[in-house]
Structure 1
Amino acid sequence: MAKSPQGPLPADPEHPKGSLKRVITSSALGQFVEWYDFVIYAYSAAILAKLFFPKEDPVAGTLFVFAGYAVGFLMRPLGGIVFGLLGDRIGRRTVLVIVIVAMGAGTMGIGLLPTYQSVGVLAPVLLVVCRMVQGFSAAGETVGSNAFVAEHAPAGKRGLYTSFTYSFSTLPSVVASLFVLLLTTGLGPETYEAWGWRIAFLIGGPMALVGLYIRSRVDESPVYEAAKAAKATAEAKHVTIEKTSVRQAVIQTLALAALSSLAFYTISGYMVSYLTTGAKLPQSQALLTNGIALLVAVTCFWLGGALSDRFGRKPILFSAIGATIVLYLPAFWLAGLGHMWSALIGQLIIAIIFGLYWGAFGITVIELFPTRNRVSGAMISYNIAYTVFGGTAPLLATWLIARTGVLVAPGIYMMVVAIIVFILVRNLPETSRSNLLHSDDRAPVSSGAAGATE
């Protein structure tokens, strides 16, 4: 057994099963609400471009909307710093309550905004402000929820439980695409443009209130409480607790999150636009095939998490990275052929690869950091990567195709990123059997104490 100089580590604290079920339910539903509010903007890009920007140049309007999409991501590093530090200082649960309220307010705000025709340039300015609120709050959701679940879960099922709740960040993309499809076909183009599009944003408020109610009824993470108590004990005894370096964890999280974010926001934030404008696929077919692919990705989340519990995080992550290098470009080419079935097959290949990747990724970046700076370290790194790579994915993909004339240019970009990520994480430690209470999370214990090892 690996021991620290002060003795073996204590086992991860656990809550009763009933408490764990409430935590999983609250985190899953909270992630769904949070990310529905965030992604509905992307699925409404066409109507937002038409109503909030001048009509003279439709292409420019679309680019401006995607630029607004990216602006939301510019707030994520700031949100990551604020919510990350708060999560480690005042607790995971309190931060998760704050972020869901902020996201609901930003989303409802978009649904209530006047259009360009009514107030001119003030309309896109207000749209960007609401998008910034969304981006700021979104920074605290995924890492906060994943850490909350992981710190409640038994060690042998951390990957499965975390991947299950994490998958609910993808389901909103499915619901949003189908909901927009339902609104556009059910109301008709004229009614949808007049006021129907607002429905998709306005329901974000009530959903946030439901999430708020659920999250206010769960207990704080037992691992966080144990680390907090250990710190207080050590400070009272004037003990200096050893500090491990988190620099390597930060670099590895940045790299893993770069690939994760680029894939997620390509398939959920850009793919429908790519299929309709680049591949000339009817919008209904683009939305349908994208929704099916994302549903498959959700099930692969769970499989990836469960497999990472059984075989380790590294085999799943590295297999998915290798598959990206080999298969992503052919899959992207298939999706762009302009036929419904080729679009579906191409997206399914991407969804399976990254569903497995996300299933192992979500828990890995939590396990890399000690409890005392887990949320801040993982959240700041995660959100920087998601800003640089995820936030620019739709805009950069549109620009690459326009600049090169090559429809699969975004696929080439993804392959290059995957190769770089593989190089950066080749020495990734295996964390599936690790104790979430790292050596620098605890007060000294006697050498004869029973416990788990890292």
Structure 2
Amino acid sequence: MSDTLGRKRSMILTAGAAGLGALLIAVAPTYAAVGILAPILLVVRRTIQGLAHGGEMPAAGAFIAEAAKPDNGGAWSSLIYVFGTIGASFGVLLGAILAQTISPDDLNSWGWRLAFGLGALGSFAAMLYRMRMRETEIFTKQVAAQGVPQESLLKAVWRARGTAIKIIGLTVGLTVGYYLWTTVLTAYHISVLGPQTPSYHRGSDNSSVLWVTLAANVWFILTLPVWGIVSDRIGRKPVLWIATIGTAIVSVPLLGWVDSSIFRLGVTLFIANFFTAAAASIFPGLLTELVPTRIRTIGVGVPYAIAVALFGGTAPYLQTWMSTNWGLPSFAW
């Protein structure tokens, strides 16, 4: 298990698994070549990526929490989503460039493979870099002091089940919001809202949506460390309340207001990301502070993975339910 392996080895494994999943998708056979086996293989490869992502945040969050000083834990915690969003922004940038330089037919035929191939290279480069990292001093000292553990990790995690429930609850809100504003809304605009416009041109309009999304991601990145520093000054709880109340106030009006307009999409993403960044900046550090050092990675990772699997991927379906009952536009397609 990851806490037995240590933070460093866990982060090496997650980077390698993410790269392997992306590489396998880049060379995936088409349905015309292998039939029903093609989507089955794709699901398996996406599962590898999902497992890597599920292990990445807890391991990186534990590493950052143990490397930070007591008075700057929030600022350091924000780095998790800063660099995660930088990676996502490179993906959006690549998509915008491909949409402008390659025809839609070529993009659907082979161009999309370039993105996964470059993603695999980036993951393998991160894996090699992490091999040069040192284990955190706190973790090393505790392992040396404890020697052979007297209690299994699973028993220790079971004793912390109350904390696990708290982690699931904290994760649900941020996960739904993060996926909605960073992924689902952009995809919905490209797939549904854009084609409803009479003047819609697939290549140019898709590119415009991606450039607006990239600008919103940059805004999100710049806001994260600010909220992290604020949390070091006024505490984690006030920042979390600001994020929670702010998101609750603006989400329904923004979802009802957004339409095929690129301008409205940009305004929506900038406002929503402001409050999402408040929660995301302190989220990794907040979770790791709830769990003892020895079981920190697995103690955060298991409930985090459960919450993301149940509520992250189902965010479009939740929005569909809201559209049916509240009259908001449906994001499931």
- TM value normalised by structure 1: 0.66
Alignment of 1:349-360 (within 5 A): 349-360=271-282
- In the other structure, the counterpart of 1:315 is 238
Aligned residue for 2:260, secondary structure, equals: coil
- Asked if structure 1 preserves the Cα contact closer than 8 Å seen for 2:77 and 2:283, the reply is no
Return the letter of the residue paired with 1:186. Answer: T
Q: If each structure's helix is expressed as a fraction of its own residues, which one has the higher value?
A: 2
Query: Paired residue for 1:118, among 33, 37, 47?
Result: 33
Distance 1:332 1:294 in 2: 18
Quote how far apart the aligned CAs of 1:259 are: 0.8
Specify whether residues 406 and 174 from structure 1 end up closer, same or farther in structure 2 by C-alpha distance, changes over 3 A only. Answer: farther
Quote how far apart the aligned CAs of 1:243 are: 11
Distance 2:252 2:86 in 1: 25
Distance 1:234 1:114 in 2: 46
Alignment of 1:122-133 (within 5 A): 122-133=37-48
Alignment of 1:309-348 (within 5 A): 309-334=232-257, 336-348=258-270
- In the other structure, the counterpart of 1:305 is 228
- In the other structure, the counterpart of 1:368 is 290
Specify whether residues 234 and 374 from structure 1 end up closer, same or farther in structure 2 by C-alpha distance, changes over 3 A only. Answer: closer
Return the letter of the residue paired with 1:162. Answer: S
Distance 1:283 1:243 in 2: 46
Post-superposition, which runs of at least 4 consecutive aligned residues in structure 1 deviate over 6 A?
none
- Asked if structure 2 preserves the Cα contact closer than 8 Å seen for 1:299 and 1:355, the reply is no
Specify whether residues 120 and 323 from structure 1 end up closer, same or farther in structure 2 by C-alpha distance, changes over 3 A only. Answer: same
Which piece of structure 1 moves more, 377-386 or 278-287? 278-287
Give CA-to-partner distance per residue, 1:100-127, whole Å, 9 cap, x none.
1111111111110111122221111111
Count of aligned positions: 317
Quote how far apart the aligned CAs of 1:409 are: 6.0
- Asked if structure 1 preserves the Cα contact closer than 8 Å seen for 2:12 and 2:127, the reply is yes
Aligned residue for 1:154, secondary structure, equals: coil
- Asked if structure 2 preserves the Cα contact closer than 8 Å seen for 1:262 and 1:393, the reply is yes
Quote how far apart the aligned CAs of 1:249 are: 2.1
Query: Paired residue for 1:191, among 96, 103, 106?
Result: 106
Distance 1:234 1:194 in 2: 53
Distance 2:183 2:316 in 1: 7
Aligned residue for 1:140, secondary structure, equals: helix
1:182 pairs with 2:97: yes
Aligned residue for 1:203, secondary structure, equals: helix
Larger radius of gyration: 1
Q: Which structure 2 segments of 5+ residues have no match?
A: 151-155, 198-204
Distance 1:194 1:234 in 2: 53
Quote how far apart the aligned CAs of 1:173 are: 2.5
Give CA-to-partner distance per residue, 1:379-407, whole Å, 9 cap, x none.
11111111111121235435764x56933
Query: Paired residue for 2:328, among 407, 429, 434?
Result: 407
Give CA-to-partner distance per residue, 1:6-52, whole Å, 9 cap, x none.
xxxxxxxxxxxxxxxxxxxxxxxxxxxxxxxxxxxxxxxxxxxxxxx
- Asked if structure 2 preserves the Cα contact closer than 8 Å seen for 1:265 and 1:393, the reply is yes
Give CA-to-partner distance per residue, 1:132-189, whole Å, 9 cap, x none.
1111221110111111111111111121112123321122222212211211221222
Distance 2:326 2:191 in 1: 13
Distance 1:205 1:323 in 2: 37
Return the letter of the residue paired with 2:145. Answer: A
- TM value normalised by structure 2: 0.88
Distance 1:368 1:156 in 2: 17
- In the other structure, the counterpart of 1:80 is none
Specify whether residues 391 and 243 from structure 1 end up closer, same or farther in structure 2 by C-alpha distance, changes over 3 A only. Answer: closer
Q: Which structure 1 segments of 5+ residues have no match?
A: 1-85, 236-241, 411-454
RMSD (CA atoms): 2.3
Distance 2:269 2:105 in 1: 31
1:94 pairs with 2:15: no
